[in-house]
A and B are shown apart, each in its own frame.
Chain A
């Protein structure tokens, strides 16, 4: 059974600071996804990582994937209040038809 763990589960940070969210998963997979969710809202796709060593950046967010370590990171650079949300990583099974989500990281960026 595929398991996905994120840490930390909760992150409170000051504006302007950097931080990293970690996503570990239990079985081999080379496709991982990051989503953002605002309270009560849908899941917004942030990054699609499809191979070992993949790195993608969008604004203040950068995601990477190490399939050998079964680890993905979401790095936040110079955080701003608008980044406050819950971030989920998800891994797809080999058949490509089932996402397993991590527990989410609730990020609060304080002015």
Chain B
């Protein structure tokens, strides 16, 4: 157990639907980072939150959004899902000087 908790582990949903992925960072970490891993794009940074505030944005689609709550857990919302959104979604917590720990991921399948 890495200390970063992600739920659910698997999601199967239809095109056009909306899903929410949840992440709790390691105890003591204030940041949450979201990454997408797909066969064609590899591992890509989506977005970072630090203590409730958005701090950095990567290649995140407008259909995707995230937030971090006062208890520091984060949710990644994916809407108007397309087949191409099927991927593994990871969250991570940590810092540059101590390294980043990844959760077990959520495998999203859009059918």
Chain A residues near B (Cβ < 8 Å): 31, 33, 35, 40-45, 48, 50, 88, 90, 92, 95-101, 103-104
Q: Does B107 contact A (CB under 8 A)?
A: yes
Q: Are B107 and A40 in contact (CB under 8 A)?
A: yes
Let me know if B101 and A50 touch, CB within 8 A. Answer: no
B28 close to chain A: CB less than 8 A? no
CA distance A48 to B92 in the complex (A): 15
Q: Assess the B100–A45 pair: CB atoms within 8 A.
A: yes
Residues in A with CB closer than 8 Å to B48 are: 97-98
Contact B96 A42 (CB under 8 A): no
Distance, CA A40 to CA B39, complexed state (A): 12
B interface, over-half SS: strand
Question: Please, could you name 7 A-B residue pairs with CB atoms under 8 Å apart, sorted by A?
Answer: A42-B105, A90-B43, A92-B96, A98-B45, A99-B100, A103-B42, A104-B42
Q: A42-B102, A42-B105 are in contact. Are A96 and B42 (CB under 8 A)?
A: no
B103 interface hit (Cβ, 8 Å): yes
Residue in A40, A42, A48 whose beta carbon sits within 8 Å of that of B98 in the complex: A48
Residues of A within 8 A of B33 (CB): 97-99
Instruction: Give the CA-CA distance A92 to B55 in the complex, in Å.
Output: 14
Inter-chain contact A43/B42, CB cutoff 8 Å: no
B23 → A minimal CB distance (Å): 12
Does B56 interact with chain A (Cβ within 8 Å)? yes
Q: Kindly identify which residue among B56, B102, B104 contacts A98, using a CB–CB cutoff of 8 Å.
A: B56
B96: chain A residues at CB < 8 Å are 31, 92, 96-97
Minimal beta-carbon separation of B41 from chain A (angstroms): 10
